[in-house]
Structures are given as structure tokens and as C-alpha cells.
Amino acid sequence: MISKLEGLTLGEKISYLRKQRDWTQQELADKISVHGRHITRLEHDKMKPSQATIAQLSEVFQISLEELAGPSTRPSDNPQIQSAVQMVYQLDPEDQSMVVRFVQALFAKKRMEQALLFR
């Protein structure tokens, strides 16, 4: 089945796999305990699923995580992020706190952008 999934976005894969099983979006949503609109957003690539949701989807579709979402792209796999984290540990506590606030602000910005997309 992986050959049919190659080149598809994650949302397209979810849609394809759901339709192959003749499930509605609501049926898939019920299987992974999310709202039906959540599946719509995922299938249209309007939001990125959490790791837990990806794991649930791979389980209900009975395919590997790699087949569904591709190779891992966790931050710990990125050498630049690993290096940056090591640099942060070398800063004094006040500067470390500033870095944390900056990262939190970036996440808040991202959440606001996502919220505005779904209005």
C-alpha cells in the first residue's frame, strides 16, 4: 500500500486510507475519539495532528507510523536544534528564562494563526 501513498500529503493519505475502508469522516473521528471537524481539517492539511493522533491513525489504519507520517522529524533528530539546546544550557539563568519566554511566544503566535484559520 505504501506505493499508493507516496507523494501524498499527510491529509491526502488520511483521506485515501479512510475512503479505502469506506468510512465517513465521522466514523474515523469516532474511532480515534476526536470531533468530525478535526478529521476534515486534517484531511485538508489545515492542521498538523499531534503525535498521539498520528499513532491512533496508524493503529486504526493498520499501517506503520512511517508509512503514514514519514520518517521521524522530531526536534531531537535535528542536529541544529540539539546544538542550540546545548548552547542554552550554557547561558545564565536570566538569559535561559528569556529563551523560554521567546519560544513560548512563538508557540502562542502559532496557536493564534491556527485559530484564525479555523474561523
Arithmetic mean of pLDDT over the chain: 86
Query: According to the model, what pLDDT value does residue 49 have?
Result: 87
**pLDDT for 61:** 94
Residue 98: is its pLDDT beyond 50? yes
Q: In terms of domains, do 6 and 31 share one? A: yes
Q: What is the pLDDT of residues 47-88, one digit of tens each?
A: 888 888 998 999 999 998 888 887 654 555 668 878 888 888
For residues 61 and 64, give the distance between their C-alpha atoms in angstroms, rounded to a whole number. 9
Which is more confidently placed, 84 or 13? 13
Q: Are residues 54 and 110 in the same domain?
A: no
pTM > 0.75: yes or no: no
Q: Is 60 exposed, middle or buried (0-12, 13-18, 19+ CB in 10 A)?
A: middle
Whole-number percent of the chain with pLDDT over 90 = 42
Please give the residue that has the higher pLDDT: either 52 or 16. 16
Beta carbons of 68 and 37 less than 8 angstroms apart: no
Taking residue 13's Cβ as centre, other Cβ atoms within 10 Å add up to: 23
Do residues 17 and 54 share a domain? yes
- If asked whether residues 62 and 82 sit together in one domain, one would say no
Q: What pLDDT was estimated at residue 76?
A: 56
pLDDT, average across residues 7-32 = 94
Domain, as residue range, for 28: 2-69
My answer on whether 19 and 34 are in the same domain is yes
How many domains is the chain partitioned into structurally?
Answer: 2
